[in-house]
């Protein structure tokens, strides 16, 4: 290949791979593959990195276009990303509950597991057992009637924090002095996932919580900017997170896009990341 052709090809490749459209397409492709796989450490780790990358790209993109009168251009780029994100939330919420219960030993028999019938019953209670949803008065009462081993497991699960991970959106401040803040942020996310594996019990807990939170926060951004919003789909996906005992860690974050889906807020000059608390 002649030097001038190589230079032209390099410029073309760089232009394509440096665009927000390319980042969104890569995220959509990976999201689609994840819908047909049981989450593993590698897929959880990679998914959160993909979410982080697309969040950074979209935040920068929306910030540049915030002053434009017609945001249709932004909506076209993200119109397929919200449905894929909602489907992944369903997948990861289900897997989270399953992962939690599969680590449970039969009470009185440390070496054996509860029967499938018992696990299904426990899962049904956990699905409505959140103690953080103020309007949910029945769920916590039902949880109190579960075996002590299940209650202890839920308490242990909900006590696991994700403080090792950088705050979502912190590429704008915590990493502002780095050469490429977005890359430093993504590297910190990846390092945190690896660091949490040292946990003696439920080693995937922190990674699962973080990735589910990332999906919910991405949903919140997309609800604000999507022209083709499907409120019933958003509500159907996020409402269970408010009631579920194993997803209490994302309940507050899920409440915001859940409420916004009823009536779209007016667009302001702020990007989604800049309005986060």
pLDDT digits (tens, 9 = 90+) for 33-42: 998 888 988 8
User: What pairs with residue 106 in β-bridges?
Assistant: 109
Domain contains 187: yes
pLDDT tens digit sequence for 12-30: 666 666 788 889 999 999 9
Q: Could you give the CA distance from residue 131 to residue 158 in angstroms, rounded to a whole number?
A: 11
Domain contains 274: no
Domain contains 7: yes
Judged against a pLDDT cut of 70, whether residue 165 lies above it is answered with yes
Under the banding of pLDDT at 50, 70 and 90, the label for residue 175 is confident
Q: Could you give the CA distance from residue 160 to residue 155 in angstroms, rounded to a whole number?
A: 9
Domain contains 197: yes
User: CA quadruple 262, 268, 273, 277: dihedral positive or negative?
Assistant: negative
- Is the separation of the CB atoms in 52 and 186 below 8 Å? yes
C-alpha to C-alpha distances, 96 to 89, 102, 158, 206, 272, nearest whole angstrom: 10, 10, 12, 11, 27
Under the banding of pLDDT at 50, 70 and 90, the label for residue 96 is very high
Domain contains 78: no
Domain contains 270: no
Domain contains 71: no
Q: What confidence score (pLDDT) does residue 264 get?
A: 55
Mean pLDDT of 244-272: 71
Q: Which residues contact 262 (CB under 8 A, 6 or more apart)?
A: 231, 235
Q: What is the number of structural domains in the chain?
A: 1
Q: What confidence score (pLDDT) does residue 202 get?
A: 86
Q: What confidence score (pLDDT) does residue 268 get?
A: 41
Judged against a pLDDT cut of 70, whether residue 243 lies above it is answered with yes
Under the banding of pLDDT at 50, 70 and 90, the label for residue 74 is low
Under the banding of pLDDT at 50, 70 and 90, the label for residue 275 is very low
Judged against a pLDDT cut of 70, whether residue 125 lies above it is answered with yes
SS3 137: coil
Domain contains 41: yes
Q: What confidence score (pLDDT) does residue 171 get?
A: 83
- Is the separation of the CB atoms in 97 and 150 below 8 Å? no
Under the banding of pLDDT at 50, 70 and 90, the label for residue 184 is very high
What residues make up the domain containing 239?
Answer: 3-62+83-104+111-262
pTM, two decimal places: 0.85
């Amino acid at each position: 290949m002649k030097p001038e052709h190589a230079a032209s090809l390099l410029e073309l490749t760089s232009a394509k791979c440096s665009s927000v459209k390319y980042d969104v397409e890569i995220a959509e492709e990976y999201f689609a593959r994840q819908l047909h796989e049981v989450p593993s450490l590698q897929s959880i780790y990679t998914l959160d990195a993909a979410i982080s990358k697309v969040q950074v790209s979209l935040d920068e993109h929306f910030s540049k276009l915030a002053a434009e009168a017609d945001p249709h251009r932004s909506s076209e780029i993200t119109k397929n990303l919200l449905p894929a994100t909602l489907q992944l939330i369903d997948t990861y919420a289900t897997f989270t509950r399953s992962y939690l219960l599969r680590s449970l030993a039969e009470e009185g028999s440390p070496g054996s597991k509860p029967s499938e019938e018992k696990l299904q019953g426990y899962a049904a209670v956990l699905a409505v057992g959140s103690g953080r949803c103020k309007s949910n008065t029945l769920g916590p009462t039902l949880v109190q009637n579960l075996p002590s081993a299940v209650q202890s497991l839920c308490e242990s699960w909900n006590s696991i924090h994700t403080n090792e991970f950088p705050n979502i959106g912190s590429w704008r401040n915590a990493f502002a002095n780095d050469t490429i803040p977005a890359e430093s942020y993504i590297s910190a996310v990846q390092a945190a996932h690896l660091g949490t594996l040292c946990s003696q019990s439920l080693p995937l807990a922190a990674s699962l919580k973080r990735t589910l939170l990332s999906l919910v926060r991405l949903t919140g951004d997309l609800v604000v900017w999507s022209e083709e919003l499907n409120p019933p789909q958003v509500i159907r996906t996020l409402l269970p997170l408010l009631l579920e005992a194993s997803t209490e860690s994302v309940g507050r974050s899920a409440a915001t896009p859940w409420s916004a889906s009823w009536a779209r807020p007016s667009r302001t000059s702020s990007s989604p990341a800049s309005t986060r608390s």
